[in-house]
Amino acid sequence: NAGVTQTPKFQVLKTGQSMTLQCAQDMNHEYMSWYRQDPGMGLRLIHYSVGAGITDQGEVPNGYNVSRSTTEDFPLRLLSAAPSQTSVYFCASNPNLSTYGYTFGSGTRLTVV
């Protein structure tokens, strides 16, 4: 049981480049979310999904796109990277239970130069 798997673990991008951060879970969880972690700001929600085919914006969605074609996968796309998107990104999943909490991946450290 792998839990939530994120790839890559590290990435350096040039300003204006695009890329996709991958997230996969094997627990059949309906809810999946993307967070970014910045020093002193905790974790902020970027986008989330309540099931395949359904996504919605979180607190800081600008510059990011998501899709959810399967229950297992929830990729995060950066369309045109900016230095302000330098951060650590976490994917998390929940089995549609308010008492369960979220299971987090190990994160992707992204640097935009």
Partner 1 sequence: GNSVTQMEGPVTLSEEAFLTINCTYTATGYPSLFWYVQYPGEGLQLLLKATKADDKGSNKGFEATYRKETTSFHLEKGSVQVSDSAVYFCALMDSSYKLIFGSGTRLLVRP
Could you list the residues that contact partner 1 (CB under 8 A)? 31, 33, 35, 40-45, 48, 50, 58, 90, 92, 94, 96, 98-99, 101-107
Listed in sequence order, the residues at least 6 apart from 27 whose beta carbon sits closer than 8 Å to its beta carbon are: 1, 3, 4, 93, 95, 103
Provide the minimum distance between the beta carbon of 107 and partner 1 in the complex, in angstroms, as a whole number. Answer: 5
Q: Closer to partner 1 at the Cβ: 18 or 59?
A: 59
Q: What's the rounded Cα separation, in Å, for the pair 18 and 70?
A: 22
Instruction: Provide φ and ψ at 85, rounded to 5°.
Output: -95, 5
Amino acid at 64: Y
Provide the minimum distance between the beta carbon of 36 and partner 1 in the complex, in angstroms, as a whole number. Answer: 11
Q: Closer to partner 1 at the Cβ: 63 or 102?
A: 102
